[in-house]
Amino acid sequence: MAVCAHAQTAIFFFGAKWSETRVRKSRRHNRVVIFTVNADPAVSFADFCAIFIFRARFQDLTMRVFNFSAGPAAMPEEVLRQAADEMLDWQGSGMSVMEMSHRGKEFMSIHEEALVDLRDLLQVPASHRILFLQGGGLGENAIVPMNLMGAKPRADFVVTGSWSQKSFKEAQKYGTAHLAASGQTADGFTRAPARSEWQLSDDPAYVHLCTNETIHGVETFEIPDLGDIPLVADASSHILSRPMDIAKYGVLFGGAQKNIGMAGVTVVVVREDMLDRAQPICPSAFEWKIVAENNSMYNTPPTYAIYIAGLVFKWLKKQGGLAAMEARNLEKSKLLYDAIDSSSFYLNKVERGSRSRMNVPFFLADESRNEDFLAGAKARGMVQLKGHKSVGGMRASIYNAVPLEGVKALVEYMKEFEQRSA
């Protein structure tokens, strides 16, 4: 047996390779952690102590990790605990939310509270409706043109990465898709084109923009006023991360599995006067006018996903709303970008004015060390940092639920790894 002491923490270590099997948690600097081992030697005791001390500084040494997944993504722990507490019996109803009739008074109250809280958080004006749909952000790539190209069969696209590229391609099935601008450079998608670069067609049905590209880490901050031309925004991976002027958008949509909650529900905010522009081929379940007339209950909605979203909305309000979240997200993203920019070992290719606050891709100078980097991060309780397969490298998605401590831990590990790689 070997014992390593740090901040009144006791470790009981047997053998050469460790695995965490049980944690008895008390106060932050007074805990006992028990580890069991496998027979294969792999990690030295010195390395084990270094990893343990690293985790003790940034985490409570429970089985929870810092999750940098791009989506489904980290959730607020408070939300997960409340959902767990209410799993078998929601507020004395004797039912789980997932067992409720979507037309019963219990779920209707959940649904209405979620709508009210979301409208309050986003400051959605009375001119816009909020819809809960299914199909995800990717599904909206088809649903949007089917709902808006009924009278004008042409739409313009500003392509800033993989997701707007998919939107552009999908719309070609339903009408003419015009490429108005592109942020592609020799290094891939690395910038958001300014409004002065947009070459709009004559009288398009709408202009499509992905305001945050999850894969490439490109965010658009300057949203132009297009006058009578509706602006459609895919805001899936940054919705609720900062205040937005919803009045500027004809349509704004987002899949839930980034900042809204769990996968399964898609939020669509649509201006009332745009509800009657659908193509005849649009399925009734996806026609916004029908969905709005039926209060998002035309078909059975994703009830549990809406419930989780509602809990997230309440959590966000407790944190101080979107202005407070923006301040936190600015601090987190600055910390990470500063670490990248001050290093010769890490590289982010996105122009500084277009860098996403939510999704931070970066590359190692020696990409043969990628797997070592990921393994070391996992050992320290940081997971899902691998970049998208189409881009490579690393990607840290630092959504609302990722705490500042998680970003601090990542930055410290990056510095440590760079020193070891020198």
Phi, psi of 10 (to 5 degrees): -105, 135
Q: Is 359 annotated as a binding residue?
A: no
The tokens describing 373, both together, are: 């980097």
Asked about 163 being catalytic, the answer comes back as yes
Q: Check 18, 90, 163, 288 and give the catalytic one.
A: 163
- The reply, when asked if residue 198 is annotated as ligand binding, is no
263 three-class SS: coil
Residue with tokens 């401590």: 405
60 marked as part of a ligand binding site? no
CB 84 within 8 A of CB 76: no
The radius of gyration computed from the CA coordinates of the chain, to the nearest angstrom, equals 24
Contacts of 255 (CB under 8 A, 6+ apart): 71, 136, 137, 138, 236, 263, 266
Locate 330 and state its tokens.
């600015």
Give dist(CA 406, CA 202) in Å, integer.
48
The pair of structure tokens assigned to 359 is 């999704």
Number of residues written out for the chain: 422
Report the C-alpha gap between 161 and 105 in whole angstroms: 43
| Ligand-binding site membership of 185 (annotated) | no
In sequence order, the 6+-apart residues with CB closer than 8 A to the CB of 237 are: 70, 71, 212, 213, 214, 254, 258, 259, 356, 358, 359, 397, 399
Which residues sit opposite 33 in a β-bridge?
Answer: 11, 23
Determine if the peptide bond prior to 153 is cis (ω within 30°): no
The reply to whether 47 sits in an annotated binding site is no
Q: How many CB atoms lie within 10 A of CB 72?
A: 16
Q: Is 248 a catalytic residue?
A: no
273 annotated ligand-binding residue: no
Active site residue 288: no
**DSSP labels, 167-187:** HHHHHTTTSEEEEEEE-EETT
8 belongs to an annotated ligand binding site: no
- Which is the catalytic residue, given 18, 117, 258, 315? 258
Which of 90, 117, 156, 234 does the annotation list as catalytic? 234
Name the phi and psi angles at 121, rounded to 5: -60, -45
DSSP string, 105-169: HHHHHHHHHHHHHHHHHHT--TTEEEEEESSHHHHHHHHHHHHH-SS--EEEEEE-SHHHHHHHH
Binding residues for pyridoxal 5'-phosphate: 163, 214, 234, 257, 299-300
Binding residues for L-glutamate: 103
Q: Which residues are catalytic?
A: 163, 234, 258
Binding residues: 103, 163, 214, 234, 257, 299-300
